Amino acid sequence: MTNTTSPLIFDGHNDFLLRFFRKTLTIDAAMNGVETGQMDFPRARAGGFGGGFFALYVPTDLGGAIAGSYEDKMDQPTYDIPLPPGIAWDDAIKVILSEVATFKKLEKAGFLTGCTSTGEIEAAFERGEIAAILHMEGAEAIDENFETLEVLYAAGLRSIGPVWSRPTIFGHGVPFRYPSTGDTGPGLTDLGKKLVSECNRLGVMLDVSHLNEKGFDDLAAITDAPIVATHSNAYAICPHARNLTDRQLSIIAESDGMVGLNFAVVFLRPDGQQNVDTSIDTMLRHLDHLIDKLGEDRVGLGSDFDGAEIPQGIKDLSGLPALREAMRQHGYGEELMTRLCHGNWMRVLKKTWKEI
Ligand code: ZN
């Protein structure tokens, strides 16, 4: 007998917190359920969502009107969206503190349980709670002396992407460019290399998902932790600059890291188009390729819920059972299902957080 809400899915990336900063969602509405967005409490229950990485993120417009969203431009046969300008630390820190506060309020309201160890995540699973890791997507709010890193660590931050698709004092993001490899610019700055060492020292996970290829190589050369892409796909299937080439996948495998499958149609579809009429089968093609290159222990899920257009057959958190069903029909056995849905994240986090 298969159970469509099991195994629980622990997910590499969501942009849920940004909805509160944009004031398009309140805590009460998130608990009771809403028509908008891709995540809320009732849909998390319906989908068998065990939790995941909740991103702190500074929008380029700093919360102002969403004018000329970059996503609108991805319906051309090819596209190359320029990187937006960087964001100053004192602008960024205000946004990040507001989002950390939202995370703490969501915890008080019983929406999620903040976790800083895999023991806490597994205990939350058993109690039927949503286990949440505080992640930062783009390190604009980290200062050059790493003082904010210490403070945010104390607040529970356990995962950082040094850049979003935007420059920071640490490195250069990869643009939304199709078709293109991720070899789009210079690598990590000296401060970026220092950030890698600081994160290694603290046991904070580093996420390569928005780094360009040179930044990826710089990080790989320094880090002593498994290399993780929380929400990226296979370049061999969709030649988008955000996706990982087989060469990068082999470096991730060698480090015993992992990749979380991104559900965004622009990173899934071979034609890179913003079109939700995309089959779940396309997701399985990426999973097969990632498993082939990385091994069954190094692949998971990284939806990008509330941050991307995703296949209409999944639509939102309540569509996770459809994904499980498709994975089973594709021939993934129960042991592999458990690893892909959450087991591999636990394995990599245990190593990264120096629990073993
Ligand atoms: Zn992202």
CATH number reported for the structural domain that contains residue 63 in this entry: 3.20.20.140
CA of 154 to the centre of ligand 1 (A): 24
Cα(54) to ligand 1 centroid in Å equals 11
Q: Is residue 92 part of a domain?
A: yes
pLDDT of amino acid 87: 96
SS3 label, residue 66: coil
What pLDDT is stored for residue 120 in this prediction? Answer: 98
Report d(CA 14, CA 102) in Å as an integer. Answer: 14
How many structural domains does the chain have?
1
Distance 113 CA to ligand 1 centre (A): 22
Task: Compute, in angstroms, the gap from residue 52 CA to the centroid of ligand 1.
Answer: 14
- Does residue 215 form part of some domain? yes
**108 to 15, 101, 111, 148, 270: CA distances (angstroms):** 19, 11, 8, 24, 42
C-alpha of residue 210 to centroid of ligand 1, in Å: 7
Structure tokens at 93: 């820190």
**Residue 228 Cα to ligand 1 middle (Å):** 13
Tell me, what's the pLDDT at 70? 64
CA-CA distance, 129 to 113, in Å (whole number)? 7
Task: Convert the pLDDT of each residue in 90-139 to its tens digit.
Answer: 999 999 999 999 999 999 999 999 999 999 999 999 999 999 999 999 99
Q: Does a structural domain hold residue 4?
A: no
Q: Are the C-beta atoms of residues 20 and 102 closer than 8 Å to each other?
A: yes
State the Cα–Cα distance between residues 15 and 57, nearest whole angstrom. Answer: 8
Q: How far is the CA of 262 from the centre of ligand 1 (A)?
A: 9
pLDDT at 1: 45
Ligand 1 centroid from CA 350, angstroms: 23
**Under the phi-then-psi rule, with left for phi > 0, alpha for psi from -120 to 50, and beta for the rest, what region is 219?**
alpha
Residue ranges for the chain with pLDDT beneath 50: 1, 67
Q: Is residue 291 part of a domain?
A: yes
Measured in Å, residue 319 CA sits from the centre of ligand 1 at 20
Cα 232 to ligand 1 centre (Å): 8
Instruction: Tell whether 2 is covered by a domain.
Output: no
| CA 75 to centroid of ligand 1, rounded, Å | 19
**The pTM is what?**
0.97
240 within domain boundaries: yes
Distance 164 CA to ligand 1 centre (A): 7
Alpha carbon of 230 to ligand 1 centroid (Å): 9
Phi and psi at 176, nearest 5°, equal: -80, 90
Residue range(s) defining the domain that contains residue 310: 9-352
